[in-house]
Copies of this chain bind each other. A is one copy, B any other.
């Protein structure tokens, strides 16, 4: 059934590296952090563990490369072309928060990496944090800081609280069956309630 063109080599370094990266993802998804053992990773990838040392310098190097391969902020884009500056970034903020709430809930890999950022502080995780900060800087310095003037820092604090709350609730909803403040964060009903709250708070902030 799977007749491959024999032209491309059977042994392929890049393909093998990809297999390892995918193995990390798979184990992370099924067993969590504690399941990330070199032996397991190699077995999952269907390759010898020695290659992990040859190609990535060890388990840490492999994990670092996996983290770097996840492009977290790719879904947050300013699609309106700068026309929204007039509202002080209100619509952009709201859209960004709501899309993050949905994105992080669906993307379990990102959840794991966010958790990593709370457990460890690897070098590779700092790249992610810096990405977030740089991404935010564009919004803050360019749009909201001028709009809120004296209260610009309070606005940053509000966004920090909401982003963090969104992360936490999404991760909590995934690993936990329990409700949070009486809301079922897995149900469409509970989630739309959170969305309403986000929208409401942004509206009030811009009043």
Contact = CB atoms under 8 A, between A and B. Distances in A.
A136 B201 CA distance: 21
Nearest to A170: B164
A76 interface: no
A162 interface: yes
Interface residues of A, number: 54
A185 to B, nearest CB: 8
A179 interface: yes
* Copies per assembly: 2
A18 B178 CA distance: 30
Interface string A157-186: 111111111111101100111111111010
28 contacts: A32-B119, A117-B172, A117-B176, A119-B175, A120-B175, A121-B176, A130-B178, A133-B179, A133-B180, A133-B181, A133-B182, A136-B182, A137-B182, A154-B196, A154-B200, A156-B181, A156-B183, A157-B196, A157-B197, A158-B201, A159-B181, A160-B185, A160-B194, A161-B162, A162-B165, A165-B165, A201-B204, A204-B207
